[in-house]
Amino acid sequence: MTELASLQNHQVRLAARPVGMPKRDNWKFTTEPVGEPAVDAILVKTLYLSLDPAMRGWMNEGKSYIPPVGIDEVMRAGGIGKVIASNNAAFAVGDLVSGGIGVQEYKEFSAAEIKRSGVFKIDPRLGTPTQWLNVLGMPGMTGYFGLMDVGQPKAGETVVVSGASGAVGQTVGQLAKIKGCRVVGIAGGKAKCDWVVDELGFDACIDYKNEDVRDGLKTHCPEGVDIYFDNVGGEILDHVLGRIRRSARIIICGAISQYNNTTAVQGPKNYLSLLVNRARMEGIVVFDYADRYPVAIAEMAQYLKDGTMKSKEDVVVGIETFPETLVKLFTGENFGKLVLQVAES
């Protein structure tokens, strides 16, 4: 195991909490030697990291559904890695795993982390490593349980999803189609809109960068909206609230338009539409459904296998690009699930 001792772990740590859009100087790069894993621990080499809008929230101080990342801590990130040393009988060298790796090249998972399922083996037969960060990972699970449990779609209903070509959006839209709904996406730019319609089979897509969203909703949802899966917040949420049907369900998954605000979040001015329409707005946090991930993964893997579901990942190479790559999420430059490739194998 002298070989481990020669490895250097490059890491990205939070240097300062950003105001507005994160910049390179919010981060610092460190290097640590890689050691032998402790008793019952494993050492994992990072292959792919998941970059998610939620990361912006973790950079802020204050109470949320999980604690913020501390200053000087390695930035939190889920990812896929390969076991390169194991003192735990449940893991063998070469196993692919998914877990809270953080933005770094190597991660030792302690016995305690393993025990509380902070890392688990993935089955490469069910999907590629990047699909395990997308449809079969947190975004897919978020879309699945948000749509199915909170949204409770019925065949024939109209489902609108914002961030339609993103990680969560692509899952939600395709799943809603599979469940017999009419699906209208909202995305930024013609390429994304064309893709969700032509490749994923959405019934329509509104290009919020070049079209009037209110007009688009009128055209594509003539009878109103039964379910809105909201990833963006802001004006778009208000436009959809203005077109919901009676007993509509609005799933609050995120509000990416608001995450880099330097002023207060923009509240939905049309929220009284909930009253008029006896409608519901409800938040979802995916971790609550952890005990049902296996069932959802099995279902989604089957869709991937039989081709009823597709996935698209936007893979950027190199841990050193992390600061700029993360920002792509907030400018809408990513196309598909944003993944940082740290190593190929």
For a copy of itself, give the closer residue by CB, 41 or 329.
Answer: 329
253 binds a copy of itself (CB under 8 A): yes
Stretch that binds a copy of itself, among 41-49, 284-292, 302-310, 327-335 (CB under 8 A): 284-292
290 binds a copy of itself (CB under 8 A): no
Q: What's the Cα-to-Cα distance from 317 to each of 49, 158, 199, 320, rounded to whole Å? A: 10, 38, 25, 9
- What one-character DSSP code corresponds to residue 118? S
- 194 token code pair: 């064309």
**Chosen residue from 268, 313, 314, 340 binding a copy of itself by CB under 8 A:** 268
288 binds a copy of itself (CB under 8 A): yes
Q: Site mask, a copy of itself, residues 47-86, x = CB under 8 A?
A: ----------------xxx---------------------
For a copy of itself, give the closer residue by CB, 129 or 234.
Answer: 234
Shortest distance, CB of residue 213 to a copy of itself, whole angstroms? 17
Q: For 127-142, what is the HEC assignment? A: CCCCHHHCCCCHHHHH
Shortest distance, CB of residue 12 to a copy of itself, whole angstroms? 25
**Cα dihedral across residues 79, 80, 82, 87: positive or negative:** positive
Shortest distance, CB of residue 242 to a copy of itself, whole angstroms? 10
38 binds a copy of itself (CB under 8 A): no
**Chosen residue from 24, 190, 269, 305 binding a copy of itself by CB under 8 A:** 269
Count CB neighbours of 156 within 10 A. Answer: 9
User: In the chain, where do the E strands start and end?
Assistant: 8-14, 27-33, 42-50, 79-86, 96-99, 106-109, 119-121, 158-162, 182-187, 204-207, 225-230, 244-252, 280-283, 313-317, 337-341
Q: Quote the CA–CA distance of 267 and 274 in Å, as a whole number.
A: 14
Residues that bind a copy of itself (CB under 8 A): 63-65, 233, 238, 252-255, 258, 264-285, 288
